[in-house]
A and B are shown apart, each in its own frame.
Chain A
Amino acid sequence: MPDASTVPSERAIREWLIERVAFYAERAPDTVDPDAQIVELGLDSVYALNLCGDVEDEFGLEVEPTLGWDHPTVNAITAFLLGELGHR
């Protein structure tokens, strides 16, 4: 069981997510508004499903493919992941 020290910080999760969204949207990370809908940034329907694979590879956490649908902004996904990582 991982202890609390292995749980990444909220800031680290958010920055990693911003980097991933910036990668798919092909834009500079500092132009990704963490409160913007990721669908508006170009991660539409089936394409938003990419994020679940990235999350699984990065955090070793199995999440629903619809993660980016149910938590539609970087900040919403960050809050969700923080909760999941804290509970495992």
Chain B
Amino acid sequence: MTHAIAAPADRADRADQTGPAGLEARLGDPLDPANPLGHAAVVAADERGEILAAGEEMLDACGLNAEFVPRSLGGRFERADRLAETVRAVFRRDVTLGLGYGITNFVAAAPVWASGDAGQRAWLARLLLGNRRAAAAYTELRHGNDFTRNELTALPAAPGFVVDGRKELVNNAERADAVVLFARTGDGPGSRSHSHLLVDMTALPAGRRRYLPRFPTAGVRGCLLGGIEFAGCPVPGDALLGERGGAMETVLKAFQVTRAVLPGVVVGALDTQLRTALSFAGRRVLYGGTVADLPNARSALAGAFLDLLVCDALSTVGARALHLCPAETSVLTAAVKYLVPKILREASYDLSVLVGARSYLREGPYAIFEKMMRDLPLVTFAHANAAVCQATIIPQLPRLAARGWPRAEPPPDALFDLGAGLPPLDFGRLAINARGADGLSAMLAVAADDADPRVAASAARLAAELARLRRRCRDLPARDRTVLASRAAFDLCERYIVLLAAAACIGVRRNGTGFRAEPDWLVGALARLEARLGRRERVPADIEARLTAELSARFDDHLTFDLYARRLAG
């Protein structure tokens, strides 16, 4: 087997207790019933509707928040792909902990890193590095993702603002010392009427703000989803974050980073589900053999493995693009946030069919599977739902078709070479519109000449699909370029996103080493993606057999199922 990818970075991480390997070691053996951070403890905390206290203590001790704070401000955040891979270790164990302790802070911090002044950035950095929390207060349930209709107001009143209104579904609302508040500061109907305020909650008059009761949820039951209601609450003038009226623009830039990272970390949940399903399939005896011996079960397991690799490739390339092609990431990160949660959820469902009744039990060795199945759907609508991600791309399709797709140069190899260094992530270079630029999809034409005939044939079909999309998107009806876009426009968008995923896989394999450089996973991944475009061709049997062997070997050797094949605890 060729799964051992002994990149120098892996060894460095083992010495450095803060990297992915260090975090994994602290999490310990998931199957040890006595491990306070093991599956049994995670499931028990979920049953109680609590975030895992021992998990929060461990993350405090290793200073996870530093992953979200730029190195220039004293933290460890330098690379979006490394951030995703590091925090993925927490999501492999407990989605609730990963969101409720970690990613929530990063979502709140991104607008501050993107638009805050030096004092605001330093203040939030100190707060996070001191293991305190930040909350992102955007949602008003009446308006959902329609941010420009948000009603909470912050009206100028010497010496600052007076805030009135409420925010709902705010993670950690009640225990966050810093809140990033998306507030209406102008009467106009457009996109310049909202501003961000960075609010020090400890300094507000208690009588002017009230915390709302927790919102009970189906998954991530331990997350402290609450809300805040402000009533004539004074906020100092220096709380204004970025330009007045600039919040929509900041959102469309800064959240490109979080929308690439969040799906990338949640890949860890499918890793655990797949591992649990493999454990089940290897032990469960039916018809005189194990479930793992049944051809249909083997196909399901290999399919989930391929889906996981596709999700990792797309989210990793999306994260690396933030550094290398920031002009193009308004489209690419929306594609990541649309497709990765969708594939993860579907793969989770497919595995649940294999695991059967035990995928529904809330106790016993497979209860972690059931918990993750409940947790995963959150990612499809949290932090920009699927339709909003498509709506970010759809109005850009005609220009992509006219300018980008016909004459794009392939992106630099470093976009796909997971071991290659990256230039710093500059929030100021992220653009809210790609202006028709898309280098990634050019990889389809590149791979149409691949030395492996199966890769070449698949890539040629995908390149032809891009040409068909080009004809249809160039002349997209006017209505489809607005909020009234039809189902047909959403379908075109979905097909384009699938092509971007294929292009990401192609690039990762061409620039990979070890397992990543082999054609098997790519041929399988492209077959899975082509199935999403309506092609009814199964993953070839010989490839499926080799992927199943790889999967079994990684299971036995305690290696992750993602592109990195890292050593796990236990």
Contacts and interface: CB of A to CB of B under 8 A. Distances in A.
Contacts of A70: 192
A76 B214 CA distance: 46
Interface string B165-207: 0000000000000000000000011111000000000000000
B190 A53 contact: no
A45 B248 contact: yes
B433 interface: yes
Contact of B478 (A23, A44, A65, A72): A23
Interface in A27-52: 37, 39-40, 42-50, 52
Contacts of A46: 252, 391-392, 395, 432
A80 interface: no
Contacts of B190: 37, 39, 45, 48, 69, 72
B532 interface: no
Interface residues of B, number: 26
A24 interface: yes
A80 B259 CA distance: 33
B218 interface: no
A26 interface: yes
A25 B189 CA distance: 17
A24 B476 CA distance: 11
Identify the interface centre among A42, A45, A46, A69: most chain B CB within 10 Å of its CB: A46
A66 B249 contact: yes
A40 B189 contact: yes
B478 A26 contact: yes
B342 interface: no
A84 interface: no
A56 interface: yes
Interface string B423-450: 0000000011101100000000000000
A69 B479 contact: no
Interface stretch (B13-21, B350-358, B410-418, B481-489): B481-489
Contacts of B436: 53
Contact of B399 (A39, A48, A53, A72): A53
B479 A44 contact: no
B363 to A, nearest CB: 46
A50 B189 CA distance: 18
Contacts of B478: 23-26
Contacts of B189: 37, 39-40
A43 to B, nearest CB: 7
Contact of A56 (B192, B248, B435, B483): B435
Nearest to A49: B433
A24 B482 contact: yes
Contacts of B192: 69-70, 72
Ranked 7 nearest A-B pairs via Cβ: A65-B433, A69-B191, A39-B190, A53-B399, A49-B433, A47-B482, A23-B478
Given A37-B189, A50-B395, 17 more contacts: A24-B478, A26-B478, A26-B479, A39-B148, A39-B189, A44-B482, A45-B190, A46-B252, A46-B392, A49-B432, A53-B399, A53-B433, A53-B436, A65-B435, A66-B191, A66-B249, A69-B249
Interface of A: 23-26, 37, 39-40, 42-50, 52-53, 56, 65-66, 69-70, 72
Interface of B: 147-148, 188-192, 248-249, 252, 391-392, 395-396, 399, 431-433, 435-436, 478-479, 481-484
